[in-house]
């Protein structure tokens, strides 16, 4: 579902080959797989009770979360040998059935679990085919003041809304890199949505990320905490600001892109494992007069574009807080635009 076409004319270096259009849903072979009881870490071949306990202590209850790791990562975080980690990961891949093909039926079942979150603007919801989807990374990019953070706040409030009202009835993790999260704004929007502001604030877990390694560490923390919390929305606002400030110059572009890629992969895991939405914000290149750096292009180039399931481009338009949102990239929806406004109550038509 997340396979994207690699785009040409991108001034940034691609550091990993893009597996373009290989895992499209339609191409899967349909085989009916009988239902089996869900396997746990105890079922991993060659894993005794002591190792299973180590895995659990390190936060790996779930086979899918092990299956998608690299041996070095697993060895480090669960304090295991690398050879053992290789075996564990291979076993988890088999049991979690992600090493090879999934049946079309199984994929359809996974897609059936996708939920959609309202933005409080019916124009915007319509553009997105009914709202912001789970199991996906949605990138919102645009210049300063275009409304990225406001959308983040609105979706955080709406995540708490019951499902019947277009919400997820769940909780939110908000990684704030620019110190722009405002509880007062949440209070305003919660009241307008008919929710108790204190209850809403209780369900939004905010962490300030001080630099890019810290930002990445916070994803691990969310992974751990999501064992006990029904996380339905993860926001990273902004995804790229630290990376951009820390990796300066062309020589640092490749390592920056590698780190960003890893970060996005971990975020996608969160989205898949929790059937949650991940919303990341991104700025556009700032200098309109520069030789390179298109001011309408988001930072991070291919890497971010390839990892995001949906990309929304926001622009300010005229007076009265009017904003235009363009759906730039989506696996199953037509490109298009929607107009919304930012009001005291939040995002509206
Ligand atoms: P950067 O993070 O700087 O890149 O910008 P951004 O895209 O995150 O912009 P943000 O979402 O912070 O939008 C800020 C704009 O939202 C302001 O310029 C206002 O136009 C609007 N806004 C924010 N709060 C309110 C509010 O309480 N009432 C109204 N009417 N508008 C608001
Ligand atoms: Mg912002």
pLDDT tens digits, one per residue of 79-118: 899 999 999 988 888 777 654 567 788 788 888 899 999 9
Gap between the Cα atoms of 1 and 108, Å rounded: 11
Q: Is 145 in the pocket of ligand 1 (CB under 6 A)?
A: yes
Residue 226 above 80 pLDDT? yes
Start-end of H helices in the chain: 49-57, 63-67, 71-78, 82-96, 104-112, 122-127, 148-160, 183-192, 197-202, 212-225, 241-246, 253-273, 301-307
Confidence bin at 178 (pLDDT 50/70/90): very high
Dist CA 301 CA 240 (whole Å): 11
- Look at residue 98 in the predicted model and tell me its pLDDT: 58
pLDDT band at 292 (very low <50, low <70, confident <90, very high): low
Query: Does residue 145 have a cis bond before it (omega within 30 degrees)?
Result: no
Query: What confidence tier does 30 reach under pLDDT thresholds 50, 70, 90?
Result: very low
**Structure tokens, 330:** 């989506």
Which of 72-81, 97-106, 266-275 shows the lowest per-residue confidence on average (mean pLDDT)?
97-106
Find out whether the beta carbon of 241 lies less than 6 Å from any atom of ligand 1.
no
For residues 41-53, give the mean pLDDT.
88
List the structure tokens of 229: 């919390």
Q: Give percent of the chain above pLDDT 90.
A: 55
Does 300 or 348 have the greater pLDDT score?
348
Determine the pLDDT at residue 271: 94
CATH 3.40.50.300 in the chain is located at: 109-348
Percentage of the residues of the chain whose pLDDT score is greater than 70: 85
Q: What is the pLDDT of residue 18?
A: 39
Ligand 1, pocket-test mutation among 186, 342, 344, 347, most atoms within 8 A of CB: 342
Q: Report the candidate in 288, 299, 347 with the shortest Cα–Cα distance to residue 323.
A: 347
Q: What is the pTM of this model?
A: 0.76
Cα distance between residue 86 and residue 92, in whole Å: 10
Question: For position 104, what pLDDT does the model report?
Answer: 83
Q: Averaging pLDDT over each range in 163-177, 241-255, 331-345, which range is the top one?
A: 163-177
Domain with CATH 1.10.150.20 in the chain: 41-95
What pLDDT score does 302 carry? 73
CA 228, chain centre distance (Å): 19
Q: What is the mean pLDDT of residues 256-276?
A: 92
Nearest to 202 by CA among 179, 231, 178, 172: 172
Q: Which atom of ligand 1 sits closest to the CA of residue 321?
A: 20
- What is 25-57 written as a DSSP string? GGGS--------PPP-GGGSTT--HHHHHHHHH
The whole-angstrom separation of Cα 3 and Cα 26 is: 12
CATH of range 109-348; options 3.40.50.1100, 3.50.50.60, 3.40.50.300, 3.30.300.30:
3.40.50.300
Identify the residue whose C-alpha is closest to ligand 1 atom 3: 144
Ligand 1 pocket, residue 344 CB under 6 Å: yes
Q: Say which ligand is closest to the CA of 180.
A: 2
Q: Which pair of tokens denotes residue 158?
A: 């709406």
List pLDDT tens digits, range 126-161. Answer: 999 999 999 999 999 999 999 999 999 999 999 999
Tokens of 321: 């807080």
Which residues does residue 316 pair with via DSSP β-bridges, in sequence order?
A: 323
* Distance between CA atoms of residues 229 and 231, nearest Å: 6
Angle (deg, nearest 10), helices 253-273 and 212-225:
10
Q: Strand pairing partners for 237?
A: 176
Burial of 191 by CB count in 10 Å (0-12 exposed, 13-18 middle, 19+ buried)?
Answer: middle
Cα end-to-end span (Å), the chain: 29
Residue 93 neighbours by CB distance under 10 Å: 17
CA of 150 to the centre of ligand 1 (A): 6
| Exposure string for 309-330, b = 16+ CB within 10 A, e = fewer | bbbbbbbbeeeebebbbbbbbb
Mean pLDDT of 197-224: 96
Q: What is the pLDDT of residues 328-344, one digit of tens each?
A: 988 888 899 999 999 99
Averaged confidence pLDDT in the chain: 85
| 167 CB within 6 A, ligand 1 | no
pLDDT-derived band at 7, boundaries 50, 70, 90: very low
CA atoms in the 13 A half-sphere facing the CB of 90: 8
Please give the pLDDT value at position 290. Answer: 56
pLDDT, residue 105, reads 84
Place of tokens 């089996």: 36
pLDDT at 291: 56
Show the tokens assigned to 20. 């373009």
Q: Is the pLDDT of residue 240 over 80?
A: yes
Confidence of residue 216 (pLDDT cuts 50, 70, 90): very high
CA-CA-CA-CA torsion sign (38, 276, 218, 173): negative
Which CATH number is associated with domain 41-95?
1.10.150.20
């Amino acid at each position: 579902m997340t396979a994207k076409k690699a785009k040409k004319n991108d001034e940034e270096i691609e550091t990993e080959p893009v597996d373009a259009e290989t895992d499209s849903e339609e191409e899967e072979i349909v085989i009916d797989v009988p239902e089996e009881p869900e396997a746990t870490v105890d079922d991993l071949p060659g894993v005794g009770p002591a190792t299973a306990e180590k895995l659990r202590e390190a936060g790996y209850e779930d086979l899918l979360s092990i299956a998608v790791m690299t041996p070095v990562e697993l060895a480090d975080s669960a304090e295991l040998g690398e050879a053992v980690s290789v075996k564990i990961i291979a076993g988890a891949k088999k049991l979690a059935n992600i090493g090879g093909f999934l049946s079309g039926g199984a994929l359809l079942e996974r897609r059936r679990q996708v939920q959609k979150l309202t933005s409080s603007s019916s124009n915007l919801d319509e553009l997105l085919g009914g709202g912001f989807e789970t199991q996906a990374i949605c990138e919102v990019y645009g210049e300063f003041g275009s409304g990225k953070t406001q959308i983040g706040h609105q979706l955080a409030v709406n995540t708490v809304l019951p499902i019947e009202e277009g919400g997820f009835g769940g909780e939110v993790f908000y990684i704030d890199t620019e110190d722009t999260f405002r509880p007062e704004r949440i209070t305003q929007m919660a009241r307008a949505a008919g929710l108790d502001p204190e209850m809403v604030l209780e369900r939004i877990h905010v962490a300030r990320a001080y630099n890019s390694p810290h930002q990445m560490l916070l994803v691990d923390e969310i992974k751990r905490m999501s064992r006990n919390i029904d996380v339905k929305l993860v926001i990273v606002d902004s995804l790229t600001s630290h990376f951009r400030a820390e990796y300066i110059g062309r020589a640092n572009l490749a390592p920056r892109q590698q780190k960003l890629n890893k970060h996005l992969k971990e975020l996608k895991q969160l989205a898949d494992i929790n059937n949650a939405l991940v919303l990341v914000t991104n700025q556009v290149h700032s200098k309109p007069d520069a030789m390179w750096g298109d001011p309408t292009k988001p930072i991070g180039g291919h890497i971010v574009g390839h990892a995001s399931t949906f990309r929304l481009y926001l622009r300010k338009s005229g007076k009265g807080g009017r904003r235009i949102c363009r759906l730039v990239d989506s696996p199953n929806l037509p490109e298009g635009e929607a107009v919304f406004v930012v009001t005291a109550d939040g995002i509206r038509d």
